Amino acid sequence: MRQYSADLTPPWKKPTPVPEVAAEPGLVVEEPGTGFCGAVIRCEAGTVTLEDRFGKHRVFPLEPRGFLLEGRVVTLVRPAAGPARPARTASGSVAVPGARARVARAGRIYVEGRHDAELVEKVWGDDLRVEGVVVEYLEGVDDLPSIVAEFGPGPDAKLGVLVDHLVPGTKEWRIAQAVTSEHALVVGHPYIDIWEAVKPASLGIAGWPRVPHGQDWKTGVCRALGWPSENTGAVWQAILKRVGSYKDLEPELLGRVEELIDFVTDGGA
């Protein structure tokens, strides 16, 4: 005898299937009912905890079609159990379990400011310790040629420098051109500030706002996005929390940092 399905729901009334996405820590989603947007910090049986850019936590049930991921409806599911130790570092490199930090090389990587150094440490810190590379910040690059001369780079003490807003014709570009040592490499990204190197989607924003020339960039960004502008340091720490790996950063920064690490470690002691 022919068997018939008991499901008599017309096809046009059936919900469209949506993808299931593992609620991995750091994944940024939006709960459409409340408009709350945040990164996953915890996923337990039946619930997920999100943290917004100001550090506020909300707990939501893991319901079908319950969240938006980059504007698309998804069903969050509990991640499958895996090894406690990640197979890769935050930079995407293969992790070396039990590896000890190498004695620091004579070479260095200089970055412009504290925020730059903190971001590099968060994503590339494991790699840098294995390679014995120290990152220091300069608080600006106006005196970069004299700083490089004072360091005295050589074959066994190479110097790499990461510069913000390194665009042809800018002040930063002219300063970088003045560094001529073959044992020093100056590279940069096109962003006015290192904040911009964090992908907007990782922060739950549509994009980084344009700030009129002459205004303090960080303050202008905070005001445009409704973030507290009186304490940009605290805002930066909230941004940094949302960076879980290289996937949260723009390729224009990723390539330059990898280039500096390769340069400083190539042929070094």
Mean pLDDT, residues 13-35: 83
Say yes or no to pLDDT of 76 above 80.
Answer: yes
Q: Band of the pLDDT at 77, cuts 50, 70, 90?
A: very high
The tokens for 188 are 């940069």
Tens of pLDDT, residue by residue over 222-261, are: 999 999 999 999 999 999 999 988 899 999 999 999 999 9
The per-residue pLDDT of the chain, averaged, comes to 85
Q: Band of the pLDDT at 94, cuts 50, 70, 90?
A: low
The tokens for 26 are 């750091």
pTM (2 d.p.): 0.65
3-state DSSP of the chain: CCCCCCCCCCHHHCCCCCCEEECCCCCEEEECCCCEEEEEEEEECCEEEEECCCCCEEEEECCCCCEEECCEEEEEECCCCCCCCCCECCCCCECCCCCCCCCCCCCEEEECCHHHHHHHHHHHHHHHHHHCCEEEECCCCCCHHHHHHHHCCECCECEEEEECCCCCCCHHHHHHHCCCCCCEEEEECCCCCHHHHECHHHHCCCCCCCCCCCCCHHHHHHHHHCCCCCCHHHHHHHHHHCCCCHHHECHHHHHHHHHHHHHHHCCCC
Say yes or no to pLDDT of 96 above 70.
Answer: no
